[in-house]
Structure 1
Amino acid sequence: MGNEGMRIWVSRPEPGAGRTARRLAERGHTALVAPVLRIAPSDGPPPAGRFDGLILTSANAAAPLAGAGLPAAPVFAVGARTAERAARAGLHPVLCADGDAADLARLVAAHVRPGGALLHAAGEDRKAEPAARLTAEGYRVTTWTAYAALAETALPEAAARALRDRDGAPPLTAALHFSRRSAEIAAHLCREAGLSGAFRALAHYCLSADVAAGLVELGVAAHFVAARPSEEALLAGLAASD
């Protein structure tokens, strides 16, 4: 399929969805913003005490961490967008791994001695890394649930109408998937709406191999997998793949 001027479903939660839509428009594409997750703050208080490093694996945890009132400590961000959000929230200094969880663990190890106390501010739904690796290397890791990503209970109406070609707009031809969970929820909600076939027919652009694996397990082929887990690499795939 050609990829000039595609109409693309962005199912990631806000505020990221709106930013992605603007970046798609800059590339000549049209975004259908219909998130299947919504971000909600955590009710749990942040842990007390002083930490040698603060870990961010999601930009959504930056603002809660900045508002936690913890003593200043280096912030280790998994990627450029997360680092940018952390700096904008007033956290400093911010060091960026610009990669994945393994890169983040290596960055922490380069600046904090084993035995140091680390705080991982994360979402309710999170992966074991980098906390598991850092714990195995002798760090004392405390994980704080700073926010929750809540799944929508039904397919957003805008997405349903587009998948049925009933919204009077150009056909929906592709979908961007930024997390395994959001991809799996999108697939589930489409199945519940009787739109599995239309969902499978889209070109699915995935942020990482893990995201793609979640779709493949559901019988959905991944059209493109970003070389690095960054929005820039994912959007580059719109021009690189065919």
Structure 2
Amino acid sequence: MRIWVARPEPGAARTAERLAALGHRPLVAPVLVVRPTGTPPPPGPFAALLLTSANALAALLATGADEALRGLPVFAVGPHTAALAAKARLGPVETGAGDAAALATLVGRRLAPGARLLHVAGAARKPEPAASLEAAGYAVATHLAYAAEAVPHLPDRVAAALGGGDPGLDTALHYSRRSAAIALRLAEAAGRGGAFRALRHYCLSDDVAAPLEAAGIAVHFVAARPREDDLLAGLS
């Protein structure tokens, strides 16, 4: 299959390699660009570090602020982020089940309420895990380490493929609710809305699929767990 990978870098290139190894033809064309904010995290002390994305970790490492956080327990949203944290010599690292709400549950099993936690996140963050943790009595300080900015228009290669160019597109992979919504908006703005809707859409979770389904787009596959392995397994 010819598959549009719309997620931002560096994850897009990694996904493309996996798709190629499975015999697919990836088209890497992100609709979001990740830019570190360069701001330092708030002062501690903290009982643990919360990481809900690999982009957050990369932005933290880029500032050198990780040095002051070494030795803190790390709660990572999923296996990939956990592996990167361990590689950066952070931790000990606890691995979540792949989504922010599950991460909050994991923290609740490991730390007593009242603990002060540092959540390293992006500017367009979701309420979880902070909402559940704060409701349970934890103090959560949020460090906005990066911002993901939408590209101004549909990438040219995607526009050409959706316009009937050779090679065309069969499928789109969606890794976040925001990127799925942006991909739809950009396709419609470029006059390619109909072709976009006709693609087979594979989504990392029900939350990711929500903006597509709200627009009346049939979602072909939703991963049982919000993990890339589960998402790519649906392609077989």
TM-score tier (shorter)? over 0.9
RMSD: 1.1
Q: Which moved more, 1:230-239 or 1:97-106?
A: 97-106
Measured against aligned partners, the alpha-carbon deviations of 1:97-143 in whole angstroms (never above 9, x if no partner) come to 13322221121112211100001000011110110000000000001
Q: Structure 2 counterpart of 1:110, which letter?
A: R
Q: Structure 2 counterpart of 1:199, which letter?
A: F
Q: Structure 2 counterpart of 1:71, which letter?
A: L
Q: 2:87 & 2:176 partners in 1: Cα distance?
A: 23
TM normalised by structure 1 equals: 0.93
Aligned to 2:223: 226
Q: 1:212 & 1:63 partners in 2: Cα distance?
A: 26
Aligned to 1:28: 23
Contact 1:63 1:86 in 2 (8 A): no
Q: Map of 1:112-191 to 2, 5 A cutoff?
A: 112-166=111-165, 168-169=166-167, 171-191=168-188
Contact 2:76 2:103 in 1 (8 A): yes
Q: 1:102 & 1:71 partners in 2: Cα distance?
A: 23
Q: 1:71 & 1:148 partners in 2: Cα distance?
A: 21
The number of residue pairs the alignment matches comes to: 232
Aligned to 1:3: none
Q: Map of 1:193-208 to 2, 5 A cutoff?
A: 193-208=190-205
Q: Map of 1:49-88 to 2, 5 A cutoff?
A: 49-66=44-61, 67-68=64-65, 69-72=67-70, 73-88=72-87
Contact 1:115 1:138 in 2 (8 A): yes
Q: 2:59 & 2:153 partners in 1: Cα distance?
A: 28
Q: 2:209 & 2:164 partners in 1: Cα distance?
A: 25
Contact 2:29 2:155 in 1 (8 A): yes
Contact 2:82 2:93 in 1 (8 A): yes
Q: CA deviation at 1:189?
A: 0.3
Q: 2:12 & 2:69 partners in 1: Cα distance?
A: 32
Q: Which moved more, 1:105-114 or 1:184-193?
A: 105-114
Gaps of 5+ in 2: none
Contact 2:38 2:59 in 1 (8 A): no
Q: Structure 1 counterpart of 2:37, which letter?
A: S
- Does residue 10 in structure 1 map to residue 5 in structure 2? yes
Contact 1:7 1:29 in 2 (8 A): yes
Identity %: 59
Q: 2:35 & 2:89 partners in 1: Cα distance?
A: 20
Contact 1:49 1:70 in 2 (8 A): no
Q: 1:203 & 1:63 partners in 2: Cα distance?
A: 31
Q: Structure 2 counterpart of 1:187, which letter?
A: L
Q: CA deviation at 1:29?
A: 0.4
Q: 1:71 & 1:138 partners in 2: Cα distance?
A: 22
Shift >3 Å, 4+ stretches? none
Contact 2:123 2:145 in 1 (8 A): yes
